[in-house]
Amino acid sequence: MSTRTSALDAVVFGVDVQSGDVRGDSPSYALVVYDGDGLERDVVSGRKLRRLIDSEEPAIVATDNTYELAADKDALVHFLGSLPAGTKLVQVTGAERPEPLSRVAKRHGIPYGKEPMREAEAAARLAAHNVGYEVSAFTDTTELKVARGRSTGKGGWSEDRYTRRIHGAVKRRAREVESALEEANLEYDREIREAYGGYANAVFTVEARPTEIPVSRERSGDVRIEIERLRRDGIEFRPLVKRRDHVIVGVDPGTTTAVAIVDLDGEPLDVWSSRLSDTADVIEWIVERGRPVIVAADVRPMPETVEKFRRSFDAAGFTPDRDLAVDEKQHRTREFPYDDDHQRDALAAALSAFDAHEDQFERIGRKLPPGIDRGEVIARVVADGESVEAVLAELRGEDGTDEEESSHEPRELSPEEKRIRDLERQVDRLEGHVETLEDRLTERDERIAELEADLEAARSEQRRKVRHSREVNRLERRIDGLERERDAAREEVTALEDKVERMKALWKLDHSNFSDVSAKKEGLVPVKVVEKFTRTAIREADEQYGIATGDVVYLRDASGAGRSTADMLAEFEPRLVLREGGLSEIADAILFDREIPVAPADDVAFQEVDELAVAREADVEDAIDDWRERAAERERRRKTAMVDRLISEHRAGDNEA
């Protein structure tokens, strides 16, 4: 049921073909924009009409024939799918078999003319008064798909890492969407296709319209979100309001006035309550929903306010034999929704009036021939006190009166008339028996209804528990994840704290001017580790913890160094160079010439702590002393070789002379 009673708070587009044909040449349209206060008229092309609908997002696009906007059913479905989420397409002339627009306009007192612009205006005004049928090709179920936003091909680095990143992003966004649906208390089904590193896609089937879902379409980087309402099997026409020409009205007066509308079949159509509305507002609300046959109250005698409403509509009045008890009202209205106790009391009054007149309505209906408006006959019989025969005669155009005879003599009944009399008596007895059986059946139905209400309450409680359990499980999973992250962070902090403590100890060793260096550490010396004997490795070590003059340097791999590398190391003037493996001849010569002590790493016992190491001062001194001895021997051998070479060269010169 529509809750909108007028278009005063929205915009309505009335549309009619001005020229051309949607199945042939591009048509132009007469467009009337109606906001309840004024009208704007224009002649636009089909494309411009679409653009205006997209930009203005009217509440209703109204026409007398939907196929003036689309050439066929497929085109109509496409048009409906292109409308903004809050815009309805309304055919004001009816459903599958529309009436002439002139007849509909006349029936509702709307100005009409044959010109396209006048027809567009009539369509807009009718739709603004909730006349017509909404044309729908989609259900209230929406499919929401979270998928990859780009191909999983090469992505600038290794393909596996690129693919894993995309699938991980899809998984994270899918979880965010699921959390949003949970927070909005929307029912949904989920289907996930897992892939390397996360999800390839996740499809949510949500029991809601796109405007009710707290997620919108998007396409950003690695992820895209698509939203699409599911299609119906065909085109459906739904009335803007469930209107009945003749209705039963229940009124609950007071500080808050409540009104309920029930049709002549006992089905509630609408309920409403307000603290601020006056009598005129209430009457206007009732008029927009039908013509009252009965105006009912839930107490006896009828309150004066309710009596005023009854006289306003010249309707029949109804009051129960005694004031309706609260439990009676609750039981009678248990199957129908209402917002407050005032609406419940008004609805109970209207339903009680229907219960009291139901048999009369059925008897009247049995007497009506095809093609006669049942509501009109019931209204005149119940409200005006006319007989069914007199109403039928008038509706058929008959005189409806017979000349009364001033006097007559009783006559003997014919056999057929006697038979009819006997049958009528038999029918009366059978009807009495039927009423007894119907009372029993009513009692049984009421018992069944009570049990069904209890069952529904139990199911509702079970659904509440399931939702609560689902939320608890989700929060527990979230807590577990956060606790794992916390534990990992604590472990990392502990490791870093240990590392900082070791670095502090080494730093203190390297800065002898600190007075708090413990005595047991005074015999140690830091060793700066260089991974390879290359310029890059030396530069990285210097940037990381600094290499200063007088440091002990450990070359984890001493092979392969050239002249520039050896010169770069010598510039730091290290106290001692410990090496793993052999030096190249050129590097060995340069370090020797620069008087840089070099010793095998095995000659000094040291302990590595992460990127640094520590050795005993005594071992370092011993290694330096050993190098000095080797250097002196090497220098002696070099000088001896030089003298031998000079002697050999001198002798060779004498022989030549």
Residues 80-137: tens digit of each pLDDT: 888 887 899 999 988 877 888 988 887 666 888 889 999 999 999 999 888 888 998 8
Structure tokens at 627: 């190098």
Residue 258 Rama label (left phi>0; alpha psi -120 to 50; beta): beta
Domain of residue 107 covers 12-131
- Whether residue 459 lies inside any domain: the answer is no
Q: Do 69 and 160 belong together in one domain?
A: no
Give the separation between CA 93 and CA 340, rounded to whole angstroms.
36
User: Is there a single domain that holds both residue 177 and residue 275?
Assistant: no
Domain boundary among 357, 382, 407: 382
**Contact (CB, 8 A) for 197 and 167:** yes
Whether 373 and 244 have beta carbons less than 8 Å apart is answered as no
Which pLDDT score is estimated for 518? Answer: 41
* Whether 144 and 221 share a structural domain: yes
**CATH code for the domain in which residue 222 is found:** 3.30.70
**Segment holding 311, helix H or strand E:** helix 304-313
Q: What is the pLDDT of residue 506?
A: 61
Query: For the chain, how many residues are written?
Result: 657
| pLDDT computed for residue 512 by the predictor | 46
* Amino acid identity for residue 365 in this structure: G
pLDDT for the residue numbered 398: 45
- Give the CA angle between residues 538, 540, 542 to the nearest 5°: 70
The percent of residues above 70 in pLDDT, for the chain, comes to: 86
CATH of the domain at 279: 3.30.420.140
Contacts of 523 (CB under 8 A, 6+ apart): 616, 617, 618
Say what the pLDDT of residue 515 is.
Answer: 36
Whether a cis peptide bond, with omega within 30° of 0, leads into 301 is yes
Per the DSSP assignment, residues forming a β-bridge with 268 are: 262
Please give the radius of gyration of the chain, using alpha carbons only, rounded to the nearest integer.
Answer: 49
Burial 508-530 (b: 16+ CB within 10 A, else e): ebbeeeeeeeeeeeeebbbbbbb
Q: Say what the pLDDT of residue 609 is.
A: 64
pLDDT, position 243: 52
Q: pLDDT by residue (tens digit) across 352-396?
A: 999 999 999 988 888 887 657 788 888 888 887 888 888 888 776
Domain boundary among 356, 382, 408: 382
In the listed set 98, 113, 131, which residue is the last one of a domain according to the structure?
A: 131
At 499 the pLDDT is: 73
HEC readout, 121-179: HHHHHHHHCCCCEEEEEEEEEEEEEEEECCCCCCCCCCHHHHHHHHHHHHHHHHHHHHH
Q: How far is CA 61 from CA 52, 71, 80, 193, 379, in A?
A: 11, 17, 11, 40, 35
Residue 356 belongs to a domain: yes
Residue segments in the chain with a per-residue pLDDT below the cut of 50: 1-8, 155, 398-411, 512-520
Quick one: 150 and 266 in the same domain? no
Burial of 484 (0-12, 13-18, 19+ CB in 10 A): exposed
3-state secondary structure of 369: coil
Question: What is the enclosing helix (H) or strand (E) of 656?
Answer: helix 617-656
